[in-house]
Amino acid sequence: MTLLKVENLKKYYSSGLFRRQVNRAVDGVSFELERGKTLGLVGKSGCGKSTLGRTVLRLLEPTAGKVFFEDREISGLRGRELKKLGTEMQIIFQHPEASLNPKMRIYDCIAEPLRIHGLCGKEAEKTRVLELIGGVALDEELLFRYPRELSGGQLQRVVIARILGLKPKFIVADEPTSMLDPLVQAQILTLLKKLQQDCGISFLFISHDPAVVEWMSDEVAVMEGGKIVEFH
């Protein structure tokens, strides 16, 4: 069943004098993504992968085109509806630090989205946080540390635990392991695959590394200059 459908999506950036210089970062992209499947997105740096991922999630406003999530057009959603969508669609960035508040203990980093979205009461919260940290195979002891006291791989696991608390249906993983050493990279990729099997999450998996994308994906889209030039 189709979870996400993207139709002729465009995102242009304007810059320069009178904003007359236009960069067609995403220039007419269409694809469909099934429930529980992974579409890999590969291409050289600067070809528009991150812009596409963010525009699909409405973190950037599209210049043109449509995005349907569960058969509903989300390109025009506002306010509360957009906020609700913000739990179902998530993003994992290359730098996990960017998603975590350095002043919060790991426990609070994971509990924060549950609080913001009112997903569990104070008592249930502790149980849920322990469940989530266990789900990404991290020791409970880390819950009382701060982000700077964890390794890159551990931080990326914390980010994943934090996101999973919201029970997302769709995740954009934007080069989630590019900063990690190969062994840790393999562990995180295996974890993402396992979570997908357990929870039926769909992924748009972005990487500049063709080997990683091939391994992770059911289908691969190759991007060049803002367009998808090949599916395989």
Ligand X SMILES: Nc1ncnc2c1ncn2[C@@H]1O[C@H](COP(=O)(O)OP(=O)(O)O)[C@@H](O)[C@H]1O
Burial (CB count <10 Å: 0-12, 13-18, 19+), residue 79: exposed
Please report how close the Cβ of residue 42 comes to ligand X at its closest, in angstroms: 10
Please report how close the Cβ of residue 208 comes to ligand X at its closest, in angstroms: 7
Would you give the binding string for ligand X spanning residues 36-55, x where CB under 6 A is met?
A: -------x-xxxxxxx----
Identify the CA nearest to 116 among candidates 87, 138, 136.
87
Cα–Cα distance, 180 to 161 (Å, whole number): 18
Contact in structure between 162 and 142 (CB atoms under 8 Å): no
Alpha helices in the chain (DSSP H): 49-56, 79-88, 106-116, 122-135, 152-164, 182-199, 210-216
Site for Mg ion in 47-66 (CB under 5 A): 50
Q: For residues 37 and 49, which CB has a smaller minimum distance to ligand X in the complex?
A: 49
- Judged by CB under 5 A, which stretch of 20-28, 45-53, 112-120, 184-192 contacts Mg ion? 45-53
100 binds, among Mg ion, ligand X, none (CB under 5 to 8 A by kind): none
CB atoms within 10 A of CB 32: 14
Please report how close the Cβ of residue 174 comes to ligand X at its closest, in angstroms: 7
48 binds, among ligand X, Mg ion, none (CB under 5 to 8 A by kind): ligand X
Q: For residues 164 and 222, which CB has a smaller minimum distance to ligand X in the complex?
A: 222
Could you tell me which residues come within 8 angstroms of residue 172 by beta carbon, excluding any fewer than 6 positions away? 53, 54, 56, 57, 89, 90, 91, 92, 203, 204, 206
Would you give the binding string for ligand X spanning residues 11-40, x where CB under 6 A is met?
A: --x-x-------x-x---------------
Q: Please give the residue ranges that form the binding site for ligand X (CB under 6 A).
A: 13, 15, 23, 25, 43, 45-51
